[in-house]
C-alpha cells in the first residue's frame, strides 16, 4: 500500500457518495435554472483582502481558517483559496458593471470552498456549497423567493421536513440600541464566559447568541429578542417575510439566536435545519440579507440577499435517512471477445453503442469468455455482445439468460439497442 494518504480534512469521494454528490449538485443547478438565476463560475482564489473585508479581518474564517497563497514572481498581491462564495459574487457584480442590468441580478453557483478548520463529521477543509445571490432589490418579496428556492431544493431531494429558522437582525438604525441591551444582559455573567466570549461581549455581543459555550448558551436562553427591538421599517419587513412564507407553505420557526456578526448584514437572517438535529450537524445551510456589502467592497450602496447550502451536509442527511440515490449504474452492454485480435473491434462497437444512446463498455482483457461474462454480470449489464473469431457477433441477453445465433454486425447492434430500450 502507498505511504501517501489524503490530507487531513480532505477526502476522496467514492461510490455511493460520489454519485450522491453529483446528483445533489445537478439538482442544485436545475433549481437555480428553473428560478431564473444565471450561472456564474468564480475563481477558486481571490485577493485575500477581499475576504478580509467581506468576512471580517478578526473573524475565525479570516484569522484562523483562510488558506493564503504566497505571492510568486511578479504577483503583487496575496491570494487566498475562497472560504465562501458571496464575496466573489459581489466582486464580480461590481467589476462587470452588473448594476446597469435590470435589478435584481440573480446569480447562482456550486463552488468548492476551503477552510482550515478542525475536521469532524459534516465539516471538512474542502467542501461544496450551493450558493444563490440576488443583488439589487431591498423588498421582502425577493427574501421570500430566495428562502423558498432553498427550502424547495431540500424538499425535492427528499428532506421534506426541513424547517426555516428565521430571524431579523435589524438595521443600522435599530441594531445599535439592541446591541447595548444585549451587552447589559450578558455583563452580569461576564466572568463565567469563556475568554473568546468575553472578547465578544466587548466587541460584538451579537455573536454571544450563536456561541456554543455552556455559559453563553445558558444566558442566551433568557436574552431579549431582537425582533422586539426593531424599528418600524424593519418590523414591517420582517412581518411581510413571516406572513409570506406562511402563505407559500414554508415551515418557519422563530429563531432569535440566528444572527450575523458583521455590520453589513441587515434584516432577514435564516438557517435551514432538520427537526431534532442538534448543533451544526442539523444545519444544512443558511442565508441573510447583506445590504451593506456591495458598498463595503467599493460599489454603490446596493441591497442584496443570498444563501449557501452545504452539499456535504445534505448528502450526510440523506445517507442518515436512507435516502441516497442509487449509485451510478454500470454499462447496459458489455462487448466481449475471444481473441486478442478483436480488441480494436470491441472498442469500436462499444463506441458505436454509446453514440446510439446506450451505455456500453468494451472488455479489453484477454481473459476467457466465461470470466468476461462474469464481469458483465457483476457490473449489472443487461446484455453482452461477443465478437466471434469470424467477425460475426453473438448477442447474449443476461436478463432472460438466452443467446441468439451469431449474426452480422448491424443486426446484432440494432437488437442490443432494442433490448436496452425495452428494459429501460
Contact 253, 164 (CB under 8 A): yes
In the predicted structure, residue 83 carries a pLDDT above the cut 90: yes
Confidence label for 328 from pLDDT (cuts 50, 70 and 90) = confident
Which three three-digit cell numbers place residue 36?
A: 431564473
C-alpha angle with apex 32: 27 to 33, nearest 5 degrees? Answer: 95
How open is the CA angle 159-164-60, to the nearest 5 degrees? Answer: 100
pTM confidence score: 0.88
Assign domain 333-423 to its CATH architecture.
3-Layer(aba) Sandwich (3.40)
Q: Output the pLDDT for position 2.
A: 62
Strands in 252-254's sheet, in edge-to-edge order, are 38-39, 105-114, 126-135, 304-310, 283-289, 266-273, 163-168, 252-254
* CA 189-194-199 angle, 5° bins: 85
Residue 280, pLDDT > 70, answer no
pLDDT range class, residue 98, cuts 50, 70, 90: very high
Asked which of 6-20, 54-68, 242-256 is least confident by mean pLDDT, the reply is 54-68
Question: What does each C-alpha distance from 304 to 53, 140, 420 come to in angstroms?
Answer: 17, 11, 49
The residue among 335, 397, 395 whose CA lies nearest residue 360 is: 335
Percent of the chain with pLDDT over 90: 63
pLDDT per residue over 400-419, tens digit each? 888 889 889 889 999 999 98
Looking at the chain, the domain(s) classified CATH 3.40.50.800 span 333-423
Averaged pLDDT score across all residues of the chain? 90
pLDDT of residue 200: 86
Contact 238, 170 (CB under 8 A): no
Q: Which CATH number fits domain 17-174+246-320: 3.20.190.10, 3.40.50.970, 3.40.50.720, 3.30.930.10?
A: 3.30.930.10
Half-sphere exposure of 344 (CA within 13 A, CB side): 1
The owner of cell 479489453 is 364
Helix (H, G, I), strand (E, B) or coil at 403: strand
Domain with CATH 3.30.930.10 in the chain: 17-174+246-320
- What percent of the chain has pLDDT above 70? 96
How many whole angstroms separate alpha carbon 265 and alpha carbon 171? Answer: 8
Mean pLDDT is highest, among 93-102, 193-202, 254-263, for 93-102
Distance CA 312, CA 104 (A): 29
244 SS3 class: helix
Amino acid at each position: 500500500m502507498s505511504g501517501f494518504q489524503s490530507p487531513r480534512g480532505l477526502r476522496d469521494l467514492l461510490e455511493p457518495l460520489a454519485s450522491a454528490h453529483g446528483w445533489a449538485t445537478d439538482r442544485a443547478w436545475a433549481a437555480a435554472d428553473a428560478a431564473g438565476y444565471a450561472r456564474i463560475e468564480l475563481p477558486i482564489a481571490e485577493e485575500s483582502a477581499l475576504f478580509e473585508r467581506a468576512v471580517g479581518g478578526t473573524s475565525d474564517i479570516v484569522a484562523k481558517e483562510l488558506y493564503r497563497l504566497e505571492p510568486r514572481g511578479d504577483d503583487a498581491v496575496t491570494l487566498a483559496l475562497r472560504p465562501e462564495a458571496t464575496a466573489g459574487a459581489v466582486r464580480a457584480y461590481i467589476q462587470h458593471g452588473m448594476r446597469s442590468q435590470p435589478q435584481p441580478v440573480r446569480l447562482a453557483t456550486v463552488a468548492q470552498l476551503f477552510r482550515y478548520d478542525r475536521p469532524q463529521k459534516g465539516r471538512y477543509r474542502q467542501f461544496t456549497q450551493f450558493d444563490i445571490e440576488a443583488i439589487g432589490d431591498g423588498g421582502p418579496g425577493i427574501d421570500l423567493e430566495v428562502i423558498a428556492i432553498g427550502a424547495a431544493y431540500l424538499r425535492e431531494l427528499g428532506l421534506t421536513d426541513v424547517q426555516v429558522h428565521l430571524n431579523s437582525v435589524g438595521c443600522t438604525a435599530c441594531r445599535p440600541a439592541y446591541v447595548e441591551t444585549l451587552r447589559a444582559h450578558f455583563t452580569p455573567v461576564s466572568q463565567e464566559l469563556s475568554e473568546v466570549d468575553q472578547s465578544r461581549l466587548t466587541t460584538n455581543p451579537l455573536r454571544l447568541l450563536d456561541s456554543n459555550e455552556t455559559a453563553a448558551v445558558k444566558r442566551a436562553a433568557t436574552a431579549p429578542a431582537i425582533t422586539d427591538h426593531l424599528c418600524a421599517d424593519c418590523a414591517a419587513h420582517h412581518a411581510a417575510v413571516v406572513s409570506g412564507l406562511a402563505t407559500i407553505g414554508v415551515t418557519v420557526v422563530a429563531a432569535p439566536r440566528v444572527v450575523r456578526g458583521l455590520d453589513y448584514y441587515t434584516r432577514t437572517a435564516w438557517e435551514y435545519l432538520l427537526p431534532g438535529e442538534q448543533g451544526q450537524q442539523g444545519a444544512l445551510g443558511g442565508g441573510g440579507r447583506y445590504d451593506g456589502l456591495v458598498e463595503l467592497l467599493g460599489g454603490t450602496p446596493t441591497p442584496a440577499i443570498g444563501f449557501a447550502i452545504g452539499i456535504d451536509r445534505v448528502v450526510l442527511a440523506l445517507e442518515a435517512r436512507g435516502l441516497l440515490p442509487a449509485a451510478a449504474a454500470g454499462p447496459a452492454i458489455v462487448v466481449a471477445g475471444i481473441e486478442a485480435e478483436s480488441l480494436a473491434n470491441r472498442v469500436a462497437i462499444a463506441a458505436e453503442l454509446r453514440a446510439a444512446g446506450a451505455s456500453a463498455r468494451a472488455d479489453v482483457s484477454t481473459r476467457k469468455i466465461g470470466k468476461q461474462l462474469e464481469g458483465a454480470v457483476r457490473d449489472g449489464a443487461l446484455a453482452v455482445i461477443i465478437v466471434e473469431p469470424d467477425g460475426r457477433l453473438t448477442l447474449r441477453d443476461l436478463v432472460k439468460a438466452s443467446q441468439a445465433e451469431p449474426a452480422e454486425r448491424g443486426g446484432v447492434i440494432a437488437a442490443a439497442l432494442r433490448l436496452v430500450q425495452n428494459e429501460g
